[in-house]
Structure 1
Amino acid sequence: MPKATHPSTPAEVAAAVLDAIDAHPEAFDMSSWLSTPDGKWLAPETEPSCGTTMCGGGWAAHLTGWTLGTRRYASKDGVDRLTEEVAAEALDLPDTALFHGTAEALLSQLREIAGR
């Protein structure tokens, strides 16, 4: 089976997050990095199940190939990092402040990064 490809440039990541939020608005919630009904981690190629939500930073980490945990951590290739740091790096942001603001501010910034 070929290895999945993930968005790699900030513009691609931002566009992928916007598309995912458009496709799954019920799974977008800025109040947590990841929330799952069963408390399990979310693998990168797994669609969010009913009741699963992610903030914009969670979506960015998820869509760039990280497995998300429910306690702010993401894991990839044996490395654990804070989800917000993974997301900020993927979007080439200078810090993680955007992920602690409003949904409107996040979506506006993502549109700008994606060129939309």
Structure 2
Amino acid sequence: MTTTTTETPLGRKAREVLRVIEANRDALDMSTWWEGPGAVFTPNETPCGTTMCVAGWRAHLSGWTLVDDGRATKDGRELKIEVVAVDEFEPADEGEIRALRELFYTGPSRALAVLRYVADQGTFPPGGIQDDDALDPYWRD
């Protein structure tokens, strides 16, 4: 595994999400944008009993309030969580936007491996999120 020396917004944002998920593995659920004890989850709430996918965590960590139908609100704006998360990851180009959208719909093991890769390398694997050769050093439970 080679660590990147180039800091990117995408890599920094991936590290933020990864830190939260790895601190509480039960907090990752790639089958739902978010799920918790209430219908609204505000940025200052503690995520006790709350699960989210990668996109949900990125939106939450970026200060968006999550509502129960896959939407997020902030400063009078209301958008789909997926749209918010793509924007908040700060992708550098269309390729990274496509990779993010694919990441949001993958399983939890692959999502974690990809987040680890992006956190370390600052970008997505050359072959996208299905590039098992590039992801090989990043698989672990």
TM-score band, normalised by shorter chain: 0.7 to 0.9
Cα distance per residue 1:37-70 (max 9 Å; x no partner): 23x21111212122x2111110011011111112
Q: 2:35 corresponds to which residue?
A: 35
Q: 2:83 corresponds to which residue?
A: 85
Which one has the bigger helix percentage? Answer: 2
Q: For 1:54 and 1:111, how far apart are their aligned partners in 2?
A: 17
Question: Structure 1 residue runs of 4+, over 4 Å off?
Answer: none
What SS does the aligned partner of 2:40 have? coil
Q: CA RMSD of the aligned region, Å?
A: 1.7
Q: How many residues align?
A: 107
Q: For 1:54 and 1:76, how far apart are their aligned partners in 2?
A: 18
% same residue: 36
Q: For 2:112 and 2:87, how far apart are their aligned partners in 1?
A: 17
**Which consecutive residues of structure 1, in runs of 5 or more, have no partner in the other structure?**
1-7
What SS does the aligned partner of 2:37 have? coil
What SS does the aligned partner of 2:104 have? helix
- Alpha-carbon shift at residue 13 of structure 1 (Å): 1.2
Counterpart of 1:99, as a letter, is: F
Under a length normalisation based on structure 2, what TM-score does the superposition of the two structures give?
0.69
Q: 2:97 corresponds to which residue?
A: 94
Counterpart of 2:46, as a letter, is: E
Under a length normalisation based on structure 1, what TM-score does the superposition of the two structures give?
0.82
